[in-house]
Structure 1
Amino acid sequence: MSDSAIHSVAGAAGGIVAMTVTYPLIFLSTRAAVETKKESKSTYQAVLDIIMREGIAGLYSGLNSSLLGIAITNGVYYYFYERSRETILRARSGTKALSTLESMSIGLIAGSATTVISNPIWVIQTSQAVRTLSSDSAQPVVVKKLGFIETVQNILAKGGLPAFWRGLGPALILVINPIIQYTAFEQLKNFLVARRTNKLRAAGAAAAVAVLSDWDFFLLGALSKLAATSATYPYIVVKSRLQAGSANALKYKSSFDGLLTILKEEGIEGLYKGIGSKIIQSVLIAAILFAGQRRIFEMTKKVLQPIVVKQ
């Protein structure tokens, strides 16, 4: 098995772990982003309202499709990212560190491929997450929750096959999110490794090269995702509304028109609905993913190594 394939499997596994731990936060941010009412609720109040109306299980509506989505998204992304990275590194000699331009180019290739392939899964997840969203939180929920297959059938019945690519426009624009994330991660990692290596060599270890810890990967993953999510959140709102099949959102002429419409009708705060829980969730999932993916990759390599040697 090639390193890029192992990275793909490790990324999928790490994503599943991270999504399971943080799912209630992405559920809350998705609902807040789709909600068009001007009332604002704290995360605590939103949690209480959902538990009162739908029980604890309500916080996990759409988890099954999210786990499938994150596995596909991360698996495809890591495969294309590592494959492209290997190609670039093989084409030149010298340093193994990627430049900013190389990191951005690799992120663009991997992000675009991942977005097109995984968009149907996120349409299903968003539809499940907002299905029981009520216009009046005081009223009992009467809308039946749908499972994965039922949601697929419902989307097909209402919009046909093209409905699974709702929100693809802003989703492709949001390819800039992982570009910012992985570029920031690579450059922060390069800076940290170079700085620590210089310290080691200055102390007398002439051939030493610094190795980052799991904690380093956790912090670098968190910082890079914080920068990416903060910069792109308004487009996340537009994408969520389109993927949910919101009647207002389907009238948007373009992603930019969606931004202008939300700004006009709901003010600047409309572009940042749910950003609190989204940032917490994004930072946590990225931190867990970067640390977990690296560890799973190393463990898988160790397991496969004896097999390769015997062959």
Structure 2
Amino acid sequence: NNLFVCVVFSGAAGVLVGHPFDTVKVRLQVQSVDRPLYRGTFHCFQSIVRQESVFGLYKGIGSPMMGLTFINAIVFGVQGNAMRHLGQDTPTNQFLAGAAAGAIQCVICCPMELAKTRMQMQGTGMKKSSTKKLYKNSLDCLSRIYQREGLRGVNRGMVTTLLRETPGFGVYFWAYDVLTRGLGCEPEDPYMIPKLLLAGGMAGIASWLSTYPVDVIKSRLQADGVGGDRRYSGIADCVRQSVQREGYMVFTRGLTSTLLRAFPVNAATFATVTLVLMYARGGEECPKDCEPAPLAQAAPPPVQQAPSSQIQPSSL
């Protein structure tokens, strides 16, 4: 399927471009408020490059890269079948189908983002030459977690992943559908590509804004216990401690980095998929409002790396 291949490659490109922003996001979300290593997004970028080299920004990228195809395959199948079952192509049905796809792909997304987060936190603030690696790579990370904690350990953060991905994917597809309908999109429109880029980018931003506080808690729970004792007993305890120590602004930690990544990655992904779909159909009538077939969130994110790591949103 040309469209599927297109989504895989555009998603992989999105992971490559967006992963450094995801690494910065996770570092800012998880860093200690008592001994903060980074003052903000750009200081975090500079510090990682200076202390861990440019490759430090790409720690954990193997996990979203490996999970990308599986996540896209699940989202394609679930979202497409859900839309056929719902019948009418409406923004509300797009939300419901997207939410269903987001929930089911958590089976792959949660372990993927756990490995990504653990790898991203490895060697934080340490010179590359002095870094003692706890995990060799993403697969080794998951293997070690499974050996110590079993399936429950591999699925750490599943509830928060569900709470993020289910509404996040729903908003993602809903926002894109609403925006493309509002902007109008015809094959002969000279501004079609800019409109697609705008709709895709804004859909990614809307998705992340709608679930970002949950992503902060997810990152903290999945990073909890790395190189030391666990601090949180569960979701409610993590929320309580985080708010008590840092106030409600804790839920915006790393948001700048996330939004800087979300717009270009999702804009490029949606536009690429739509245009390839039109090309693959040999110039046939454009799908209604130039809406592409369903695709996974790029940043995960999203993929999605993410909004994920990964393609997250990784991690959007």
Q: TM-score normalised to the size of structure 2?
A: 0.77
More helix by percentage: 1
Number of the residue aligned with 1:235? 214
CA deviation digits over 1:188-242, x for unaligned, max 9?
112222xx77xxxxxxxxxx99797232221101112212212221110111122
Equivalent residue in structure 2 for 1:253, among 227, 230, 234: 234
Per the alignment, in what secondary structure is the counterpart of residue 32 of structure 2? coil
Per the alignment, in what secondary structure is the counterpart of residue 160 of structure 1? helix
* Closer, same or farther: CA 269–182 of 1 in aligned 2, 3 Å: same
Task: Answer whether contact 1:62 1:126 (CA < 8 A) is retained.
Answer: yes
Q: Which runs of 5+ in 1 are unaligned?
A: 93-97, 198-207, 303-311
Structural mapping, 1:65-76, within 5 Å = 65-76=63-74
Equivalent residue in structure 2 for 1:274, among 211, 236, 254: 254
Per the alignment, in what secondary structure is the counterpart of residue 222 of structure 1? helix
User: Which has more radius of gyration?
Assistant: 1
Task: Answer whether contact 1:23 1:60 (CA < 8 A) is retained.
Answer: yes
Runs of 4 or more above 3 Å deviation: 6-10, 86-89, 137-141, 208-212, 245-250, 295-302
Number of the residue aligned with 2:15? 19
* Closer, same or farther: CA 259–59 of 1 in aligned 2, 3 Å: same
Number of the residue aligned with 1:142? 131
Q: Which runs of 5+ in 2 are unaligned?
A: 283-316
Q: CA deviation at 1:168?
A: 0.8
Number of the residue aligned with 1:158? 148
Task: Answer whether contact 1:249 1:258 (CA < 8 A) is retained.
Answer: no
Number of the residue aligned with 1:263? 243
Number of the residue aligned with 1:169? 159
Q: How many residues align?
A: 276
Equivalent residue in structure 1 for 2:27, among 31, 38, 41: 31
Q: Does 1:289 align with 2:280?
A: no
Task: Answer whether contact 2:23 2:58 (CA < 8 A) is retained.
Answer: yes
* Closer, same or farther: CA 146–138 of 1 in aligned 2, 3 Å: closer
* Closer, same or farther: CA 242–141 of 1 in aligned 2, 3 Å: farther
Find the aligned partners of 1:83 and 1:211 in 2 and give their Cα distance.
Answer: 33
Per the alignment, in what secondary structure is the counterpart of residue 131 of structure 2? coil
What code does the residue aligned with 1:251 have? Y
* Closer, same or farther: CA 138–8 of 1 in aligned 2, 3 Å: closer
Equivalent residue in structure 2 for 1:59, among 57, 60, 68: 57
Task: Answer whether contact 1:242 1:249 (CA < 8 A) is retained.
Answer: no
What code does the residue aligned with 1:60 have? Y
Q: CA deviation at 1:23?
A: 1.4
Q: TM-score normalised to the size of structure 1?
A: 0.78
Q: Does 1:185 align with 2:176?
A: yes
What code does the residue aligned with 1:232 have? T
What code does the residue aligned with 2:33 have? K
Q: What's the Cα RMSD here?
A: 2.8
- Aligned-pair identity (%): 20
Task: Answer whether contact 2:205 2:263 (CA < 8 A) is retained.
Answer: yes
Q: Does 1:225 align with 2:223?
A: no
What code does the residue aligned with 2:271 have? A
CA deviation digits over 1:148-170, x for unaligned, max 9?
33222222233222212111111
Find the aligned partners of 2:190 and 2:229 in 1 and give their Cα distance.
Answer: 51
